[in-house]
Amino acid sequence: MTDYTDVEILVSEAEIERTVALFYGRAREDSLLGPVFREAIPDAQWNAHLAKIAAFWRKVLRRQPGYEGNPMRAHVALGVLEKRHFDRWLALFEAAAREVCRPEAADEFVGRARLIAASLLHGLDFFRTRQQPAG
């Protein structure tokens, strides 16, 4: 991956907005991910969620302020996520990014998504291990 200075130029705000919209539209209808999204995010809050996720990616990829949140806490709170959810998320996300973004921007976007997914999955495993009774 490139350093932050290059990324700030590499992935445009328009690419972030369009990738987020395309991916989450597809994920919400997906047979595996859709039920998780529909349970976690009511229809009335969907647009606000998309705006928050776009802000997250602008912070990650462009170092722009505007996202305040704790992705780990949000994903742990769902209580249902497994590796298969992350695998599907990444497949859909990569398809959307490659469809929307220029190749080098898609590479960066997907690379960061993979790192974030791995971190979230590791964190979920850690929290689940801590919650298991000793014995």
**Cβ proximity of 86 and 121 under 8 Å:** yes
Name which of 4, 11, 27 is nearest 95 in CA terms: 27
Q: Which pLDDT value is given to residue 78?
A: 80
In terms of Cβ atoms closer than 10 Å to its own Cβ (0-12, 13-18, 19+), residue 134 is: exposed
Q: How far is CA 129 from the centre of its chain?
A: 23
Taking the chain (135 residues) in consecutive chunks of 10 residues, what is each chunk's mean pLDDT? 56 96 96 94 94 96 91 80 94 98 96 95 81 59
Q: Which domains does the chain have, with CATH numbers?
A: 4-131 (1.10.490.10)
Which ranges constitute the DSSP H helices of 11-102? 13-29, 33-40, 46-62, 71-78, 83-100
